[in-house]
Amino acid sequence: MAKFRTNHERTGKGSSGSMIVRVGLFSAIVGGLFVLFNKFTGNSVPDYPEDENIVRETENQDYWPESTTGAIVHHQYYSLSYSEKHEQAEWVAYRLNAEELKQPWVDRVDNFRPDPEVETGSATPDDYRHSGYSRGHLVPAADRAFSEQAMDETFYMSNISPQSSNFNKGVWRELEELARSWAKRNGELFIVTGPVLTMEPKGQIGDNEVTVPAAYYKVILDSKEPQVKAIGFIIPNEVSFDPLFKFAVSVDQVEELTGLDFYSGLLPEDAEQEVESSFNLDLWEFSKAKFQERIEKWNND
């Protein structure tokens, strides 16, 4: 012990400097290992610059339903209410804007990963492996293809739900593509979508016991005057050979099935009741060509 003290006293600042170097090297090694771990486990979160021209979704709460779980999560380009019981969102809400859709699309990178903003912990990509179900987007990646950050956020597992493969790439895809065409024509739409968690589920998958929903809903509002209009859809989580308009319903019908209240903060009460109680298919242009493509190709891919 005496020898150690003598050496320490004799080396003085040199020993202190050596210790600093060793600590610095150790920190650098640990930091490098952390980066590599995140890279190879798919948990990396890219460091995107803030875009001061983008209005955060957290500043636009008027079109959100109330959360039945109390677990609202805000991302830059959409918000959601997470259900820990079902390990997925009960709803996601976002604006679909024509100007954003007209931007060049960025490359898609399938960076599926847990959502760090879900306090109870979200589902993981492992829950879906070998389950027979697709990792189905609620906010479509293509709706957020105008920037790398916007698209990357859609791959949080809180925005993913187990969908039948032929549903995901068939009727659900057709509805997503139609919504984008409607937004391009109308300027901006307010969309809320999610799984129907009030129906008996088809089962559960993964260690986290992710609920496999029996159906999905989507409600779409065009709030532009003078012709404010809305439409809803309830579609079973299975392959479909029916035209998409067969699944169209009023927003009130979606509310009755899901127990959620849509657009109550966005429209005056009398206008809300009128818009949500009925819908007019003539005001929403459906595509016969898209339907034929689904029947002949997408359902069989």
Q: For residue 49, is it within any domain?
A: no
Question: Both 170 and 280 in a single domain?
Answer: yes
- Inform me whether the pLDDT recorded for 59 exceeds 70: no
- Inform me whether the pLDDT recorded for 140 exceeds 80: yes
Q: Longest Cα pair distance anywhere in the chain, in angstroms? A: 93
Question: Both 185 and 143 in a single domain?
Answer: yes
pLDDT of residue 62: 67
Q: What are the C-alpha distances in Å from 298 to residues 128, 176, 290, 295?
A: 22, 13, 10, 7
Q: Any idea what the CATH number is for the domain that residue 123 is in?
A: 3.40.570.10
Question: Both 30 and 78 in a single domain?
Answer: no
- Structural domain span for residue 202: 57-300
- What is the rounded CA–CA span in Å between residue 244 and residue 290? 10
Q: 168 Cβ partners below 8 Å, 6+ apart?
A: 134, 136
pLDDT of residue 275: 87
Average confidence (pLDDT) over 159-188: 96
- What value, to the nearest 5°, has the Cα angle with vertex 237 and ends 233 and 241? 75
Question: Both 20 and 130 in a single domain?
Answer: no
pLDDT of residue 60: 56
Q: For residue 262, is it within any domain?
A: yes
Q: Is 130 a catalytic residue?
A: no
Average confidence (pLDDT) over 65-91: 95
Question: Both 16 and 139 in a single domain?
Answer: no
Q: For residue 292, is it within any domain?
A: yes
Average confidence (pLDDT) over 150-173: 97
Active-site residue (options: 75, 86, 130, 137): 137
Residue with tokens 């486990």: 41
Question: Both 6 and 80 in a single domain?
Answer: no
The pTM of the full predicted model, rounded to 2 decimals, is 0.81
Question: Both 89 and 205 in a single domain?
Answer: yes
Question: Both 18 and 122 in a single domain?
Answer: no
Under the banding of pLDDT at 50, 70 and 90, the label for residue 147 is very high
Is residue 44 packed enough to be buried (19+ CB in 10 Å), middle (13-18) or exposed (0-12)? middle
Average confidence (pLDDT) over 14-28: 41
Beta strands in the chain (DSSP E): 72-74, 79-83, 88-97, 134-137, 160-163, 188-195, 203-205, 210-212, 215-222, 229-236, 248-249
Instruction: Find, among 155, 137, 144, the residue nearest to 103 by Cα.
Output: 144
Q: For residue 48, is it within any domain?
A: no
- What is the rounded CA–CA span in Å between residue 92 and residue 65? 9
Q: For residue 277, is it within any domain?
A: yes
Number of domains in the chain: 2
